Amino acid sequence: MAPMRVVLASGSPSRLMLLRNAGVEPIVHPATVDEESILRELVSAPPRDRVAALARAKCGAVAPRYPEDITVGCDSMLFIQGRLTGKPHTIEEAIRRWTAQAGKVGTLLTAHCVAGPGGARYEEVSQTAVHFGTPTKRDIEAYAASGEPLPCAGAFTLEALGSWFIDRIEGDPSGVIGLSMSTLRKALYSMGIDASRLWNR
């Protein structure tokens, strides 16, 4: 049986890496959605609902073009100290966030919306507790200056330079990286699809 096509509605290198490492070579079709507008409309909603709305919008923007394939939309945000934070975008903001979150524990929320053939749909938000280390001021500045944390939810990565500064996590590692493979498996099973059908090798 030929592999099913997977469409990744994201330009995230980390999500692409996770799929490739799991034997999937997806079609990469980043969704274009107004994230700020969506979040503004849901400003009073629970954190999980706000992140889920972003993943739903991304999947919804791309899935209609691939009705017979599996479209995966995701979004991640960090809930820490009563605030939901996304990507820092600038070096200055990354430094500010790391100075504030060093030594604390946050919850990384990764929302998934998976669309399949025949209009099938599966949604789930994975959550993982992230215990941040206490890097020196110089290390925080060097990490921010590397550019790595700027496009990342919570201003950190688990799989690259950021691994130096994460003491431990409690939950799904792939969810922290950006796409929970166990959640994707559950989505496929809910549609009657074996995970191995996605493998290209």
Which SS3 state, helix, strand or coil, does residue 85 take? strand
CB 31 within 8 A of CB 57: yes
CB 185 within 8 A of CB 70: no
Helix ranges (DSSP H) in 63-151: 91-101, 137-145
- Residue 75 is among the residues annotated as catalytic for this protein: yes
Q: Which is catalytic among the residues 75, 167, 172, 194?
A: 75
CB 88 within 8 A of CB 94: yes
Task: Fill in the DSSP letter of residue 21.
Answer: H
d(CA 96, CA 144) in angstroms, rounded, equals 10
Distances (CA, A) of 199 to 1, 19, 72, 123: 11, 9, 15, 22
Instruction: Tell which residue, 24, 5, 4, has the closest CA to residue 179.
Output: 24
Give the tokens for residue 122.
Answer: 């599966």
Annotated catalytic residues are: 75
